[in-house]
Amino acid sequence: MKILFVSRPNLKLAAAVEMYKKEEVTLGRAAEIAGMGVIEFKDVLRGRGIKIIVPKTSIDERDKQVARIRKIRGR
> Using one digit for the tens of pLDDT, what is the confidence trace for 55-68?
777 888 888 889 99
Number of domains in the chain: 1
What is the reported pLDDT for 3?
66
Average pLDDT of every residue of the chain: 88
Range of the domain at 27: 2-73
Angle ∠(34,18,32) on CA atoms, nearest 5: 20
What is the reported pLDDT for 75?
66
pLDDT, greater one: 40 or 60: 40
What is the reported pLDDT for 32?
95
What's the burial of 38, exposed, middle or buried (CB within 10 Å: 0-12/13-18/19+)? middle
pTM: 0.66
